[in-house]
Amino acid sequence: ASILGTHLANAFEVTRMNDMVAAGLLDITPPTVVPWHELPTAHQAMWENKHAGANYLVNHALPALGLRGKDALLEAWAATEHTS
């Protein structure tokens, strides 16, 4: 099964979708992460329908990818401050 788009109609549908993902009934296509400085190129690729992947995510502030939760984010930011 697949869901195209990012907007659902109500809380029931969101809950149902989350249940389907947890049960392995839906595959999640990870976004293509684009650094801030490559945003114009990503927009042009989308305009020309030459983009790689289903959607883009612009990383303008995360110190690392794959962080899970606020604590991991704060630890990564703290580590970045000490290495700069």
42 in Cβ contact with 56 (< 8 Å): yes
> Which pLDDT belongs to residue 75?
92
65-78 mean pLDDT = 89
Q: Is residue 84 scored above 60 in pLDDT?
A: no
Pair of tokens at residue 41: 């190129």
Query: What residue spans define the domains of the chain?
Result: 1-30, 31-83
Q: End-to-end CA distance of the chain: give it in Å, rounded.
A: 45
Q: How many CB atoms lie within 10 A of CB 34?
A: 19
Quickly count: other Cβ atoms within 10 Å of residue 20's Cβ.
13
- pLDDT of 6-45, one tens digit each? 666 788 888 888 899 899 998 888 888 888 899 899 889 9
Question: Is the C-alpha dihedral spanning 7, 11, 12, 15 positive or negative?
Answer: positive
Mean pLDDT of 56-70: 84
